[in-house]
Amino acid sequence: MTKNKNVLSWVDEMVALTKPDNVVWIDGSDEQLEALTNESIAIGEMQRLNEEKLPGCLIHRTAINDVARVEHRTFICSTNEEDAGPTNNWWNPKEAYDKLGKLFDGSMKGRTMYVIPYSMGPIGSPFSKVGVEVTDSIYVVLNMDIMTRMGKDALKQLGDTSNDFVRGLHSKADIDEENRYICHFPEDNTIWSINSGYGGNVLLGKKCFALRIASYQGKNEGWLAEHMLILGIENPKGEVKYIAAAFPSACGKTNLAMLIPPEIYAQKGYKVWCVGDDIAWIRIGDDGRLWAINPENGFFGVAPGTNEKSNPNALASTKKNTIFTNVVHKLDDNTVWWEGLDKEPITNALNWKGEEWNSDMAEKGAHPNSRFTAPAINCPCISDEFNSPSGVPISAIVFGGRRAKTAPLVYQSYDWQHGVFVGSIMASETTAAASGEVGVVRRDPMAMLPFCGYHMGDYFKHWLEIGKKLGDKAPEIFNVNWFRLDDDGNFIWPGFGDNMRVLDWIIKRCEGKADAVETPIGYEPKPEDINIDGLDDVDLDIMKELLDVDVALWKEEAAGIHEFYKKFGDRLPSELMDELGKLEERLG
């Protein structure tokens, strides 16, 4: 399928190591995928769902010890320990290759190796990058088909001589938890993943390549690989402005990316378009502005909680050609279910472990991290620019987390440098909503804590450098918090589609069409500048509460930031300490 000697010799090496019985190159054709689907069904790895209700859909169950990403077994194997930084697990590359080499030795005996060439980013885009993943899992092949542009075209994109491709080796081996490793070798463009079959650990194009390896490439090549959704807001005149937004895992990125504007906006003709829900690759364009693509081709979304109200667009995306993993299998009509889908009582079903289950049982039916892998083209609000080779121009960058009290609904940074500070102090709290208790703060700078492939101090520096290059073309930077609680532990802000009201202010700020007030933490809207027309539970007083900046809490916050920053030692850019100093000064 290719003449590229770099690819061929690397695949030969992997074959010699893992010793499969057969090697199959994935060309991406419908016939090949159909045959592989049938084979996967025949070996019991997948089952076909109801062809009328869910055409082309499949259900899969992972091993019960293998249901999520394993951060404690995820390593950055850089030559110097210091280069992985304090937020990553580091492993000496030679030792990692030795140890994993023994585990991979013969791990595909009796199995077939599938060679998957894929492109992250649209074929033909100068933003895009090619990877080759070899795996012994058909589940991986079929998921990669949805999540990436896979097959012959990706090899064409690479060309006959280039050596610039990410080498991904995956084997399920024995799904042995004790020997599960997800290792990244940024200096070698290489990822080795063994003993897992769970998406985030084995779909190597996603977190492993598009974030961990790509963030390292971006640092060296002058661009950014970010854990961000990208959405476009179309105004009634048909003009579209794009926002990129970073939130930690499980803070509603997919929901925001596919937001349905509230009635008062929809009536006027506002629309929201989804470009991506998880990852953005961002570069400075020829015009000096920031441009972003979504390197993925599908959504690997969390199923529980997805429903007609929370995210009708995501739900619609799962109605055909989708793979469901670890959800409830309803046997009567051969469809799927998960907690929060609807209130229908479920009988005659299998839970995510494959055991008989009904909704009267105390135990949950779907795993809380059960997933759908759905093609992006299924999404009713997918952007026309989704496949655009040049990406979309970014007007605003938004950071956010789950904070009970500290962070207001929205604020804007004073400038790019201050915005990098705002991103660097991003945090989420675990909240015990019922009792109103506030939990532990977990800092997650730019939502990249588990995904930055190098020292985060250098990552902050890279962000600051991008800002210097952008100058006055830099997008505005904001922070939002949809999760503010009242004293009884109830969410104050309705969230979901009503987040449009906040995005509206953000866009107006970018266009110089909205006022703001200066607070110690940044610019805030005047309470009356957030449109609350048609909202039953939010009045001006509540808006004031949502925007309140509690100086005592922020002083505590500043102390927490000092603690957190200590981790980065002398690799923390002095600009961020300056910003912390300025914040403390403004707090008085």
Nearest in space to 261 (alpha carbons), one of 250, 273, 253: 273
The nearest distance, CB 255 to ligand OXD, in angstroms, is 13
Q: Give the list of residues 6+ apart from residue 498 with CB closer than 8 angstroms, or none.
A: 262, 535
Q: Which residue is nearest to ligand OXD (CB)?
A: 249
Query: Residue 101: enclosing H or E segment and its boundaries?
Result: helix 93-104
Q: Which does 200 bind (CB under 5 to 8 A by kind): Mn ion, ligand OXD, none?
A: ligand OXD
Listed in sequence order, the residues at least 6 apart from 577 whose beta carbon sits closer than 8 Å to its beta carbon are: 565
How many amino acids of this chain bind ligand OXD (CB under 6 A)? 5
Distance in Å, CB of 260 to Mn ion, minimum:
21
To ligand OXD, the closest distance from the beta carbon of 326 in angstroms equals: 13
Q: What's the closest the beta carbon of residue 297 comes to ligand OXD, in angstroms? A: 15
Please identify which of the residues 251, 379, 381, 452 carries the catalytic annotation.
251
Going along 503-564, which residue ranges are E strands?
517-519, 522-524
User: What, of Mn ion, ligand OXD, none, does residue 61 touch, CB below 5 to 8 Å by kind?
Assistant: none
Using alpha carbons, list the distances in angstroms from residue 297 to 255, 386, 448, 496: 17, 9, 21, 24
Question: Out of 85, 117, 200, 457, which residue is the one contacting ligand OXD (CB under 6 A)?
Answer: 200
Between 121 and 527, CB nearer to Mn ion: 121
**Minimum separation from the CB atom of position 69 to ligand OXD (A):** 6
- CB of 502: closest distance to ligand OXD in angstroms? 22
**Among residues 228 and 404, whose Cβ is nearest to ligand OXD?**
228
Closest C-alpha to 96, from 186, 207, 11: 186
- Which of residues 278, 429, 458, 476 is near ligand OXD by CB under 6 A? 278
141-180 mask for ligand OXD (x: CB under 6 A)?
----------------------------------------
Select from Mn ion, ligand OXD, none the partner in contact with residue 212, using the beta carbon and a kind-dependent cut-off of 5 to 8 Å.
none
Distances in whole angstroms, Cα of residue 97 to Cα of each of 16, 103, 352, 451: 15, 10, 34, 21
For residue 249, state whether it binds ligand OXD (rule: CB under 6 A): yes
Of the candidates 416, 127, 507, 121, the residue with the CA atom closest to the CA atom of residue 286:
127
Window 80 to 99, contacts with ligand OXD (CB under 6 A)? none
Provide the 3-class DSSP secondary structure of residue 481: coil
Q: Which is nearer to ligand OXD, 37 or 87 (CB)?
A: 87
State the residue number with the nearest CB to Mn ion. Answer: 278
Q: What are phi and psi for residue 208, nearest 5 degrees?
A: -65, -50
Active site residue 251: yes
Please state the three-class secondary structure of 15-59 as a single string.
Answer: HHHHCCCEEEECCCCHHHHHHHHHHHHHCCCCEECCCCCCCCCEE
The span from the CA of 200 to the CA of 193, in Å, is 11
CB neighbour list of residue 201: distance below 8 Å, 6 or more residues apart? 66, 69, 70, 180, 182, 193
Query: Largest Cα–Cα distance in the chain?
Result: 70
Which one of Mn ion, ligand OXD, none is in contact with 454 (Cβ closer than 5 to 8 A by kind)?
none
Can you give the binding site for Mn ion, defined by CB under 5 A? 278
By CB under 6 A, name the binding residues for ligand OXD. Answer: 69, 200, 249, 278, 300
Catalytic machinery residues: 251
